[in-house]
Amino acid sequence: MKQVSGKDFAKLLHRAGWELKRINGSHHIYTKAGRKERISLPVHGSKPLKTGLLKHLMKITDITESLL
């Protein structure tokens, strides 16, 4: 699986229709109209997200690996 930083994944979320609601420290909180889930995305510069977290976020947001 390709490594993706929090900053790059935030761009993918924005393109997929997720909206940045607030920022709490280094965690960006995203929501989407019609969905009850909230995404808490850690953004630590260009540091890549860990594989388990990335897979979990991809599953919740319906973002496929081909979009990475």
pLDDT at res. 34: 94
pLDDT at res. 68: 82
Average pLDDT per block of 10 residues along the chain, 68 residues long: 94 96 97 95 95 96 89
pLDDT at res. 51: 95
pLDDT at res. 16: 94
Q: How far apart are CA 33 and CA 35, in angstroms?
A: 6
Task: Supply the pTM of this predicted model.
Answer: 0.91
- 14 in Cβ contact with 52 (< 8 Å): no
Q: Which CATH class is domain 6-63?
A: alpha beta
pLDDT at res. 66: 87
The single-letter code of the amino acid at 60 is: I
pLDDT at res. 42: 97
